[in-house]
Amino acid sequence: MLQDIKKLLERNSLLIAIVATIILAVLSLSAVPKINMGLGIKSADKYLHFIAYFGLTILWYFALKDRIHEKVFKFFVPLALILYGIILEGLQSGLTTYRTGDIYDALANTAGVMVALLVFKRLLKWYRTI
């Protein structure tokens, strides 16, 4: 069963990464109501940015790991995702009146990408044992 799920995800990994990228853009440019989770965490949205870009990076790494050369993969995937985050922050300021771009959001996005880069090899090693 687990092998079947793994094969299904591998066959559709590029589509999953593309859809996740589009969903992230829509959420980034939409008027999303602020949710107070009652945790009292200052700047909680930065954690959400980190998690979103960490997850997006992992999805793109899995989608492209066997499709492009490893050196290109290690440089261009993180660079593209960091630029994507910066562009979305700029679009929030330029296209919307209800969202504002934030340098700290872009830094949280970048941190998520970089941590995913560091974690991916271990995650891939575990994934191949399934």
**What are 36-91's pLDDT values in tens digits?**
656 565 667 889 999 999 999 999 998 998 888 878 878 899 999 999 999 999 99
Q: Which pLDDT value is given to residue 69?
A: 83
C-alpha 18/C-alpha 20 separation (Å) is: 5
Q: Which pLDDT value is given to residue 31?
A: 79
Q: Which pLDDT value is given to residue 106?
A: 94
* Buried b / exposed e along 32-44 (16+ C-beta atoms within 10 A): eeeeeeeeeeeee
Asked if residue 124 has pLDDT above 90, the reply is: no
* Amino acid at site 8: L
Q: Which pLDDT value is given to residue 98?
A: 76
pLDDT digits (tens, 9 = 90+) for 9-45: 888 999 999 999 999 999 988 877 766 656 565 667 8
Helix (H) or strand (E) holding 18: helix 13-29
Q: Which pLDDT value is given to residue 35?
A: 63
